[in-house]
Amino acid sequence: MACEYRGLALNQEHMRARNMNRQCGFTLVETLIASSVLGIMVVSLCSAYTFGFRVIRVSQENQRADQIMLQKLELLRVYGWSRTCSNGFVPATFTDSFSPGSSRPGVTYSGTILVTNAPISASYSNQLRLVTVTLNWSSSGRPCSQNMSTLVAQYGIQTYKN
């Protein structure tokens, strides 16, 4: 009987070890759920990176557009009143690129400069001009546009530089 008892004890110990091994592992369903959660997380992370890089690119393009428009408006300060008002001296259209000196210039901006009379009815209205710079470009197939306006005075700051 001692042998049977001992064999029974070994058999029970073996069964207990097998049950513990079953409890330590993962079922197929648990593995599939964990894999799908991991897959969703990876796709979400890639989407977040893509969206972030797109936002950065659009903000860089907008900043470059602001820089181009400001550059064109600042040129008017150097031109002076007579050149600003004369027909043909201020170019009506122009083009510029995102990276002008690079071998890969990137986005091409096309712009217009419009010099008109100031929209006021005061006595000094003939001494003011409204200058509007408009830029157009395409970003990822989507048309974009920005404009910037300023007033130029006959006796403004440009008279002090000469």
pLDDT for 20: 63
Top-confidence residue, 18 or 62: 62
Share of the chain above pLDDT 70, in %: 80
Helix/strand/coil for 9: helix
Burial tier of 97 (Cβ tally within 10 Å: 0-12, 13-18, 19+): middle
Digit-coded pLDDT (tens) for 105-142: 788 899 999 888 888 888 888 888 889 999 999 988 89
Q: Is the pTM of this model over 0.75?
A: no
Residues 6+ apart with CB under 8 A from 22: none
Residue 131: other Cβ atoms inside 10 A: 19
With beta carbons less than 8 A apart as the criterion, state whether 89 and 102 touch. no
pLDDT for 51: 95
87: nearest Cα among 109, 119, 113: 113
pLDDT for 39: 97
CA distance linking residue 76 with residue 73, whole number of Å:
5
pLDDT for 4: 54
User: How would you write 16-81 as a 3-class SS string?
Assistant: HHHHHHHHHCCCHHHHHHHHHHHHHHHHHHHHHHHHHHHHHHHHHHHHHHHHHHHHHHHHHHHHCH
CA distance linking residue 90 with residue 40, whole number of Å:
56
Q: What is the arithmetic mean of pLDDT over 22-38?
A: 85
Q: Which of 37-51, 74-88, 129-143, 146-160 has the lowest mean pLDDT?
A: 74-88
The amino acid sitting at 68 is: I
pLDDT for 2: 46
